[in-house]
Structure 1
Amino acid sequence: MSETQLSEQRNAGLGLTIVIAATVSISVSNILTPMVYALGVNTETLLVLRLACFLVLCSVWIRLLGISLRIGRRNMLHCIGSGVAYAIGSGSLIAGFFFMPVSLVILIFYTFPLLIRLSEALLDRRPPSLMEIAFLLTAFLGLAICLGIGFERLNAPGMIFSALAALAVTVSFVWNGRKLASVPSTVSTFYMAATGFVLILAFAPLAGGWRLPPAEGFAIVIVAATALTFAGAFLGMYTGVRMIGASRTGLIMNLEPVLTIALAIAVLDEQMAPNQFVGAALVIAAIYGAQRLPAQGSSS
């Protein structure tokens, strides 16, 4: 094996580790979020606190490493575009929760790994292999089993918002992976988060304003932990897009609902039914199998 191949293999391994860490991080944030809501914080305030935390930490990191924020007008527009798409995706996902059960919204949302792969196939004019599609569909089936879906509660508004969330995140991942490969991921995610921050600040007054947590020790710790875990996940996801591609990053993100359920059992003392174990096993098997497939070219 040549030195170049060894370097690519190490890079892929590191990228895989980063995405898995990001998935764990967002799952922890999911578990902490209900605690934040219990403190009286609303969705708009939580989103702003998360992005503000990320922007502060990212700014410090960029300054310590001496990374330049100058990326040129074209790259800046790509960052803003990808950031707008991600903000739309996040907002649509939250909106979907008002109309349908969380499990249904999450299931529709997690069509985005398949949408990413199909988008890349269309852009590359190279159809995905049957094995790729099989693994993606297996992961989707596993999620459906794991979440215990009841389709009788489907409704049009919930489906529209959930589908819009999946489409917007797909656009953001593919856009970032293809148009921002020359920009350090720390810098691109900084501008993306800044874009989302501005959009939410503009939208919040229309949605009911701000609801801050009480200035107490426990409340501050919970809110800070939620913001920090989100910040790590946000950077990790888009770093992964650069290192292993949008398709594989999206596929690994299927672990998020599974890990959230596992953490809910461990932290919140919730129960897991036998069918959920089967669904989780299918998701993990599909992700492992997909990682064993040979790479089919760059996604950038």
Structure 2
Amino acid sequence: MMGNSGSNRYRFWLGSGAALMSAVAFSSNVVLSRLAYDFGTNLHALNLIRAAVFLGCLLVAVWLSGSSVSIKRNELYRCLALGVLLCAEMYLLLASVLFIPVAMAILVFYTYPIMIALWAWRTGRHHLSYLGLSVMALAFIGLIITLAGSDTLSVGWEGRYGIALAFVSGICLATILLLSERVLETQSAKIMMLYMLFSATAVVGFVSLFVAELTWPASLPGWSALSGSAVLYVVATLLLFKAVDLVGSLQTAIIDNTSPVWAMILGVIVLGQWLNIQQVIGASVTIAAVMLLQWITRPKT
């Protein structure tokens, strides 16, 4: 019993750490994506590079590990479907910023942990007390306070499309995390993501070749930002699914919900976008709430 308890605690903190690093890596990727756009890259070029780099990394990882790539037909179909959802999530989120400010898009997108929590609670898959739900709501309120501190968050009727795109993108990610738990019961994260990236890359490749026009950076800094964004996106996604494998989709989503805060902090460092007092207060509320949730949901000895 003591051994199992220690193992559970180890998995909990390892998975929580992976989720936190995923949130930071994702935020860094968003900041570098903004820089890549400034240097001439467009949405389709960024997604194509992301998918190609990700698929290449997975192929190398699977080859080096000597893992078997055989998979049952039903699980193959699930992985391919998850890849299509991953592709949709990437396109929808990045497309939403064409209609609404980036901060608003991130705020709407990061309602996905609430979706997962409510689904898990409603279906009885995970016990979450009213205190836990209240603290999660407090974390989201902190995000609202943080993002509402920006003067760029005023959105009129023209923003309804952007809000819808960001919200559907959040639904896609919530669905991916929930469905991936079932696949991870019988498959390793590497194999699952390999087949996911096959389908995602196929979709992105088709769009790039036959639908969209690609534009690339015009300078070395632009290529550096594009490359860094792609690498960090791969790191963030790998860590995200590793966290799901270790602690489940709900705990992963709780910690990943801090990503907008890290994006603002990195925005100060990289882009010179300073936080005002209201944003600092909101960020502090979110981080404190997430830390409290970690304590509430920790494995009991």
The normalised TM-score by structure 2 is 0.91
Q: Does 1:183 align with 2:175?
A: no
Distance 1:125 1:257 in 2: 27
Cα deviation for residue 60 of structure 1 reads: 1.1
| Secondary structure of the corresponding residue to residue 128 of structure 2 | coil
Supply the AA of the counterpart residue of 1:248. Q
Cα deviation for residue 6 of structure 1 reads: 0.6
Cα deviation for residue 206 of structure 1 reads: 5.9
1:76 matched to which residue of 2? Answer: 76
1:238 matched to which residue of 2? Answer: 241
**In structure 2, do the counterparts of structure 1 residues 221 and 125 end up closer, same or farther at CA, with 3 Å as the change threshold?**
closer
Distance 2:210 2:145 in 1: 38
2:46 matched to which residue of 1? Answer: 46
CA contact (8 A) 1:75 1:180 kept: no
Q: Does 1:174 align with 2:157?
A: no
The correspondence of residues 100-115 of structure 1 with structure 2, limited to 5 A, is 100-115=100-115
**In structure 2, do the counterparts of structure 1 residues 186 and 250 end up closer, same or farther at CA, with 3 Å as the change threshold?**
same
Q: Structure 1 regions of 5+ residues with no counterpart?
A: none
Supply the AA of the counterpart residue of 1:236. L
Greater RCO (Cα-Cα under 8 Å, separation 6 or more): 2
| Secondary structure of the corresponding residue to residue 183 of structure 1 | coil
Q: Does 1:209 align with 2:213?
A: yes
Distance 2:229 2:103 in 1: 21
Percent of counterpart pairs with the same letter? 24
Distance 2:20 2:126 in 1: 27
Supply the AA of the counterpart residue of 1:3. G
2:56 matched to which residue of 1? Answer: 56
- For residues 30-53 of structure 1, the C-alpha deviation after alignment (integer angstroms, 9 at most, x for no partner) is 111122112221111101101111
**In structure 2, do the counterparts of structure 1 residues 127 and 2 end up closer, same or farther at CA, with 3 Å as the change threshold?**
closer
Q: Does 1:256 align with 2:243?
A: no
**In structure 2, do the counterparts of structure 1 residues 272 and 106 end up closer, same or farther at CA, with 3 Å as the change threshold?**
same
Q: Does 1:268 align with 2:271?
A: yes
1:289 matched to which residue of 2? Answer: 292
CA contact (8 A) 2:23 2:256 kept: yes
1:4 matched to which residue of 2? Answer: 4
| Secondary structure of the corresponding residue to residue 245 of structure 1 | helix
2:16 matched to which residue of 1? Answer: 16
Distance 1:247 1:145 in 2: 23
CA contact (8 A) 1:80 1:192 kept: yes
The correspondence of residues 121-132 of structure 1 with structure 2, limited to 5 A, is 121-124=121-124, 128-132=128-132
Q: Structure 2 regions of 5+ residues with no counterpart?
A: none
The normalised TM-score by structure 1 is 0.91
Aligned pair count?
296
